[in-house]
Amino acid sequence: MASGTLSRWAQAAVLGVGLPALLMAYLSGLDAGLAGVPGEDSCTRCHGGAGGPDVTGGVTVTFLGPPTFTPGLKQHLVVTVVDSGARRWGFQLTTRLASPSSAQAGKFTAGADGFTQLVCTQTNFRSQVFGDACATNGLPLQYIEQTQAGSRLGTTGAASFEFDWTPPDFTANNLVLYGAALAAPALPPWTPA
């Protein structure tokens, strides 16, 4: 065999091993930093713009809990994404101090239904961890997002995600909730459009 043929075989082997890993990259979760915080990315990094003329839906965040904000008192949140043409759902949300927006404000707890999970990262986004490891890793930025099961392939009309948020123990002048949501056709999020 010529070395050129061997090289092509080697390339095919690498592609055969690497491509499934690439396709599975988002099964554990989205990258941290896609909630639209100033200086960070949003879902549009991979999924295009903020919608077009065919956008038929919207997103709401509802706080179910005490009628007033109390530092350190857990709040139950529901993110609802609505779109009449969608069959797959996603979101990512974080809370930050208004200034600086790089400072985390409070902590999330994933819902018991398995539709949400945590992802934590460093402020430089060089590494991230998912799930329960967020509580012990010391990474300062925290996001909550859908799991693969939470994307609910085939569900039409709307999808809701429930989880808890515990605000910081101190009184901050302003806190900001940043979030991005996606309602998509049946294609998995890792399939090129």
Q: Where in the chain are the domains?
A: 1-26, 31-184
Quick check: 146 and 166 in contact, CB under 8 A? no
Query: In the predicted model, what is the mean pLDDT of residues 124-137?
Result: 80
Q: What is the pLDDT of residues 147-181, one digit of tens each?
A: 999 999 899 999 999 999 999 887 767 889 999 88
Neighbour tally for 110: CB within 10 Å: 22
Q: What is the pLDDT of residues 39-92, one digit of tens each?
A: 876 666 666 555 544 556 788 999 887 777 788 889 999 999 999 888 989 999
> First and final CA of the chain: distance in angstroms?
38
DSSP codes of every residue in 82-111: EETT-SEEEEEEEEEESSSTTSB-SEEE--
Task: Give the Cα separation of 163 and 161 in Å (integer).
Answer: 7
How high is the mean pLDDT of the chain? 76
| pLDDT for the residue 145 | 93
Query: In the predicted model, what is the mean pLDDT of residues 30-43?
Result: 76
| pLDDT for the residue 169 | 85
Checking if the pLDDT of 122 tops 90, the result is no
Beta bridge pairs of residue 157: 83
Closest CA to 43 of 54, 35, 53, 32: 35
Going by pLDDT thresholds of 50, 70 and 90, the confidence category of residue 14 is: very low
Task: Give the Cα separation of 172 and 103 in Å (integer).
Answer: 12
Dihedral sign for Cα atoms in the order 86, 92, 93, 99 = negative
Which token pair is 111?
Answer: 């819902």
Checking if the pLDDT of 17 tops 90, the result is no
Fold entry, domain 31-184 = Immunoglobulin-like (2.60.40)
| pLDDT for the residue 161 | 97
